[in-house]
Amino acid sequence: MQRSDFLRRTAALALAASTLALPLAAHAADKIKFGVFPSSAALPFYIAQNRGWFKDANLEVEEIPMTSHPLTVQALISNGIDGAANLVTLEGANMESRRPGTLKYISLNGQNSQYVIEQFVVKAGSPAKTLADFKNGFKLFSAPGPANIGAARAVLKKVGLTEGKDFTIQEQQIGVHLGALQSGNFDGGYTLEPAATVMVAQKIGRRVEAGVIATHLLGRKDASAFAAGAVLSDKFIADRPDVAKRFAAVWARGVQAAQSDSSTRGYLIAGMKVPPELAASVPLPRIVMAADMKPADTDDFQKFLDIGQQLGVVKDKVDGKALVKAL
């Protein structure tokens, strides 16, 4: 074989090899780091992950456990995560008021006494029947973060109680709430689902009142207290718009399944360490995609954000419409 023929053939083989390699590279899954706070509203994530819907959308989504909302915000700012489930909206709004262009909510979790997430609980044998009974130095724990403990304090003040005189309250990670009641170190607390369902089923705790934000702060039992939701960072949306759009589409599919198919509660067993016999009974919030928000939803959301500013949790007034984004 002449040298020129050898070189031509070698070049042709190299070109063929590179051509064959192109589709493989083009189809490499887009990686996303997604923070997950331990609340039942993370169910759409576990549905999409377990049913392979992220994979079908050519997404490789890594779950990053989050123990508090301030840490979630910090991770978004530092690009440690691209988005998160269950970020408290007052925490997100506060960051937007201080540093505009940090994050956007693609869905919001509406909470009240029908769509239960936040609630006050007491020890199973406690004589307390209503919030007004939290007196005489009642020792309470709260879900972590300024927004959670701020809302708890505001509700107790609304029913006429005085901190320091009637009750004391301190933040505790969700994972220790059951043990906090069981140990006797606390008389009760402000907790979230699915932790409340577990402690009630195990007869360690008893619900006193759920949906307290809607009832006592928004002023209507049927109001939607949009206290948390799923977010994506603005940088992620701007830098990878197609990936963000595909993620939002899968998230919407997960939301729809969570609210229409009760069998999906089973994914809370591994994801949230919910006992198998309790999974079906864990309540969910009313999850609304940004594109599906009605005028009443927008009004409830703005009122909640304004309350957050009054409580000092949110630095300046934030426009609720600007905090959500349909992708």
Q: Give first-to-last CA distance, the chain, whole Å.
A: 59
Q: Which is higher by pLDDT, 278 or 3?
A: 278
What was the pLDDT predicted at 272? 86
| pTM attached to this predicted model | 0.86
Residue 317: which of 84, 85, 100 has the closest Cα?
A: 100
CA dist 141 and 180 (Å) reads 8
Residue 4 pLDDT: 46
CA atoms of 222 and 219, how far apart (whole Å): 9
Q: 26: pLDDT confidence band, cut at 50, 70 and 90?
A: low
Average pLDDT over the chain reads 91
pLDDT digits (tens, 9 = 90+) for 113-150: 999 999 999 999 999 999 999 999 999 999 998 999 99
Cis, bond preceding 38 (omega within 30 deg of 0): no
- Which tens digit of pLDDT belongs to each residue from 35-73? 998 889 999 999 999 999 999 999 999 999 998 888 999
Indicate the helix (H) or strand (E) that contains 105: strand 103-111
What tokens does 218 get?
């928004």
- Identify the pLDDT of residue 16: 42
Distance CA 269, CA 280 (A): 10
